[in-house]
Structures are given as structure tokens and as C-alpha cells.
Amino acid sequence: MEKTYFISGIDTDCGKTIATGLIAKYLLSINKNIITQKLVQTGTSGIADDIITHRKIMNKILFAEDKNKITCPYVFKLPASPHLSAKLENTEIDCSIIDRNTKILNDNFDTVLLEGAGGLHVPINNKVNIIDFIEEHNYPLILVTSPKLGSINHTLMSLEICYKRKIKLAGLIYNNHPANNSFIQKDTLEVIGKFLRKHFPRVPLIEVPLFKNNDYTNIDFSELF
């Protein structure tokens, strides 16, 4: 296993926070010393909402690293692109601070799952987009998609840019929420799967079921590792 995996989505609200928590839950079940990290959180204050969600899925209380904001040093009130939310609070996201925190986590845990914000071309600051950050660090990427309308286009474009920029794609997660139309849901999965097999024939495609009442059962993610 790698020390750090980056989890991104095709866009916002595709399920990457749930996926990150579920992967962490699986790794805990096989006795890995695991922690999650959040690149930047917008639309809240205090401890990052997504970190709190990760811990609930993992059935863990907040870590000391959460309380001292090692797992997410940048939290902004406006629910917008990170660069804009930071600008409105008279700051700019410094990637070296994120890197420093990832190193601290790497030194104390077997594996770090680093969740991004939005899709691959979301600006972190005025110089770096998320895809640039992934490429610079050569992080294995776990990409999350869903059956919502527009996801075929968003997913294929995301996979294409990963292919062209030689991103190490560790896996594609198909989050079956929202499950509004089973016909669309099945067709979307088939189209995405066909593209994945053509360009990333060794990369696994793993489905995450629709959970009710936040009853997150354990999922086998062994293919990712």
C-alpha cells in the first residue's frame, strides 16, 4: 500500500466524503492504522464537516489531529471554490502547509486518505488546481462518480484528463446515490465501465450501495490496494 491516497470526485456532492469514510472503515477492519485528511473545507467553521463524517462512518471519536486541525488546516465559511472562499477571508491556501500536515500524519499512521474538494479542476489557489496537486505529488487517485444526471460527461472527462496526465488511478468508485432511476443508473454504469476498461484496463470499478438511515455496512475495497 501507498502511504497516501487522494480521493477526488467528478464534481461536488458525488459522494467522495462517504467513499473516503467507507474506505477508512474497511482499512480499520483489516487492522490498518488509518486516518483521513481533508484538503480544504468550505461552507462551515471549526472542525471540518467532512472529517466529522469520516469519523462517524469509521465509528471513531475525533482524533487529536482533528481537534488541532492537522487533518484540515483550512476551513472557510463560504460554500464556494476554495480559492474564492479563502480570498473572502483575506487569505490564500498554502499547499506547503497541507504537505507538512500530510507528512505528520504519514509519520504516525500506516495510510492517509486525503479527500479533495469538488472535482479535479477546482482551484486550490490562484496557481494550483487539484489535478496539479495530485500530479505534483504523484498520489494514487481514487475517483468517485455517481449515476446523477451529467455524471457520464463529468466522469469520462475526468478519466480522460487522468489518462493524458498519467495520473496513477487506483480505482473508480460508483456511488449509487442518488438512485432516482434504475434504468439511468444501470446505463451510466455500463458506459463508464466501458470507457474505464478501454483506457485503464487494470483499474477496479467498485460499487457503493445506497445506504438507508446512514447504516454504513462494511464494503470490501481490497481491489484498491
**Annotated catalytic sites, by residue?**
38
Other Cβ atoms within 10 Å of 206 Cβ, number: 20
- Whole-angstrom CA distances from 66 to 63, 87, 173 are 5, 24, 26
d(CA 99, CA 22): 24
Instruction: Say if CB 192 and CB 10 are below 8 A apart.
Output: no
Q: With H, G, I as helix, E, B as strand and everything else as coil, classify residue 161.
A: helix
Q: Of how many residues is the chain composed? A: 225
d(CA 38, CA 49): 10
